[in-house]
Amino acid sequence: MSDTYDIVVLGGGPGGYATALRAAGHGLRVALVEADRVGGTCLHRGCIPSKALLHVAHLADTVPQLVEFGLAVAAPGVDVVTAGQFRDRVVDHLHRGLGGLLASRSITVIEGWGRIVEPGIVAVTDGDGDGDGDGDGETRTLQAPHLVVATGSAPIDLPDVTPDGERILRSDDALRLERIPQSVVVVGGGSIGVEFASLWRSLGSEVTLLEIADRLLPLEDPDSSKALTRAFAKRGIGVRVSTGLAGASSTEGEVVVETSDGGTITVDQMLVAVGRRPATAGLGLEALGVLSDRGHIVADAFGHTSVDGLWAVGDVLPTLALAHAAFAEGFVVADVIAGLDPDPVEHRLVPRVTYCSPEVASVGLTEPQARELHGDQIAVTTFPLAGNARAMIEGGTGQVKLVCAKDGTLLGGHIVGPSATELIGELGLATSWEALAAEVGAVVHAHPTLSEGLREAALAAAGSPFHAHT
């Protein structure tokens, strides 16, 4: 059978469904092809289930503080079955809501594996919905003048290390959380690695974190990396930077991890979290000549490839692999197809967030990036949250760092501390509007709040510090 649409979107993750919803809102006829479940990795195997479990971990962290605050509590413990049920309830609720939203916009959702036969034509196999791509179900052909590839990404495996789902894990395996490991090595100090290291430590595991770069969160500002490393050390997380994985062997009861400096660590489990790769193989893209050597789709700032009518959004692009970046890219693609004239996504202004404890968030330029672009014509201000009343009440510490041009224009903001992932929105707005530090400092913030830390940093950057030492 053959169906004709205005747009066919391959992939039902954040980038794909954002494109579909936006395009449908413009009155376009849209088909969304998904081999598994709409919502993609973010909803089912990434952002949402991990943050649900990190919320459980956060609550576990607060239990020791309760006695200090005068509350009598029983000895803490974690029921992984109940925690897993909470995780699944959140995911299921959002999945049902997304399905209803797509239906309400008259978007045709097709279960199966889509492959581009030629520009404008997609063959969908495995219509039985089991998602294995074996083509044992109904085959149908979709036609549209615009095809959008939004198939996301998959975990990167290391050479000579074979995840088994029991002792040597990928992030997908770790999220199932059937038990809390007594000891664990996390390989990779990016966002995924530090979040799992934080999660397991909060739940009682002995954690060692290996990162081949010279610091955790290499994409963040160096001072944020230092602050997080100090906080992890206080929590008892072993951090070993400039240290890679040389090998690992799994037995029935343990994993022997060999490090690049010649050492060995014997643990209960090991997580490989060294990044993700674009899921672009098997889609027919090789024949169209739109893939880079690393498997990303090559496209312009609006997501359009060199093939007329072929677009890309999300992790298949060499941009920030973040759900909210994919949302924004999907909006732009849908708007352009609908004949509008949107601005492209300014990825420098996309917030970067990591939900470990303490949280880390940033937007705009890091200090090294600002110095590379502006030389010495920048000013850097750091305000410690130890002096913030709300942070003190909640038992949190951290810092706010602002990177400004000499005239006070905000170039970047970096937060380490409680609720950093929520607070970064204000700095994102100020940075995107090219606000001056003095303008941010002039905005009255409620007291006592964590957001006061942003104002304090801005006041200090504008040369009028309040509680900050001069």
pLDDT tens, position by position, 417-439? 999 999 999 999 999 999 999 99
- Both 241 and 339 in one domain: the answer is no
Assigned domain for 326 exists = yes
Q: Which tokens belong to 122?
A: 């997609």
**Nearest-5° angle of CA 149, CA 219, CA 217?**
110
pLDDT at 129 over 50: no
The one catalytic residue among 44, 414, 447, 469: 447
Strand 352-354 vs strand 359-364: parallel, antiparallel, or unpaired? Answer: antiparallel
Spatial distance between the Cα atoms of 411 and 450, rounded to a whole number of angstroms: 21
pLDDT tens, position by position, 436-470? 999 999 999 999 999 999 999 999 999 998 986 65
Integer CA distances (angstroms), 121 to 18, 143, 147, 268, in order: 21, 5, 8, 49
- Both 312 and 218 in one domain: the answer is no
Residue ending a domain, choose from 274, 307, 323:
274
Residues 6+ apart with CB under 8 A from 372: none
Residues 6+ apart with CB under 8 A from 224: 217, 360, 362, 401, 414, 415, 416
pLDDT at 125 over 60: yes
How distant is the alpha carbon of residue 90 from its chain centre?
Answer: 18
DSSP SS3 for 5: coil
pLDDT of residue 77: 78
Assigned domain for 254 exists = yes
**What is residue 289's DSSP assignment?**
T
Which pairs count as long-range contacts for 461-470, CB under 8 Å and 24+ apart, including other chains? 461/379, 461/381, 461/402, 461/404, 461/408, 461/437, 462/408, 462/436, 462/437, 462/438, 464/438, 467/387, 468/383, 468/387
Which of 93-102, 130-139, 312-321 is predicted least confidently? 130-139
- Both 180 and 100 in one domain: the answer is no
Task: Write out the residue range of the structural domain in which residue 218 sits.
Answer: 168-274
Instruction: Give the residue from 353, 64, 392 showing the smallest Cα distance to 235.
Output: 64
* Average pLDDT rounded to a whole number, residues 273-289: 96
- Both 313 and 385 in one domain: the answer is no
Specify the amino acid at residue 411. L
Assigned domain for 68 exists = no
Residue ending a domain, choose from 291, 318, 347:
347
The tally of domains found in the chain comes to 3
- Both 7 and 139 in one domain: the answer is yes
Query: What is the model's pTM?
Result: 0.94
Residue ending a domain, choose from 293, 322, 347:
347
Contact status, residue 361 vs residue 351, Cβ threshold 8 Å? yes
Assigned domain for 444 exists = yes
Assigned domain for 57 exists = no
pLDDT of residue 75: 66
- Both 208 and 259 in one domain: the answer is yes
pLDDT at 335 over 70: yes
- Both 211 and 235 in one domain: the answer is yes
- Both 332 and 380 in one domain: the answer is no
Terminal Cα-to-Cα distance of the chain (whole angstroms) = 73
Query: Can you name the residues that pair with 124 across neighbouring β-strands?
Result: 114, 140
Q: What is the DSSP string of 166-226?
A: SSEE-HHHHTT-SS--SEEEEE--SHHHHHHHHHHHHTT-EEEEEESSSSSSTTS-HHHHH
- Both 179 and 287 in one domain: the answer is no
* Average pLDDT rounded to a whole number, residues 191-213: 97
The mean of the pLDDT values for the chain is 93
- Both 175 and 257 in one domain: the answer is yes
pLDDT tens, position by position, 151-186? 999 999 998 898 999 999 999 899 987 889 999 999
Instruction: Give the residue from 47, 275, 266, 81 showing the smallest Cα distance to 167.
Output: 266
CATH number at residue 193: 3.50.50.60
pLDDT tens, position by position, 23-52? 999 999 999 999 999 999 999 999 999 999
Integer CA distances (angstroms), 148 to 23, 229, 283, 293, in order: 11, 40, 12, 20
Assigned domain for 370 exists = yes
Residues 6+ apart with CB under 8 A from 249: 255, 256
- Both 268 and 289 in one domain: the answer is no
Assigned domain for 424 exists = yes
pLDDT of residue 2: 57
pLDDT of residue 69: 81
In which band, very low, low, confident or very high, does the pLDDT at 272 lie, cut at 50, 70 and 90? very high
- Both 234 and 268 in one domain: the answer is yes
- Active site includes 447? yes
Assigned domain for 72 exists = no
CATH number at residue 364: 3.30.390.30
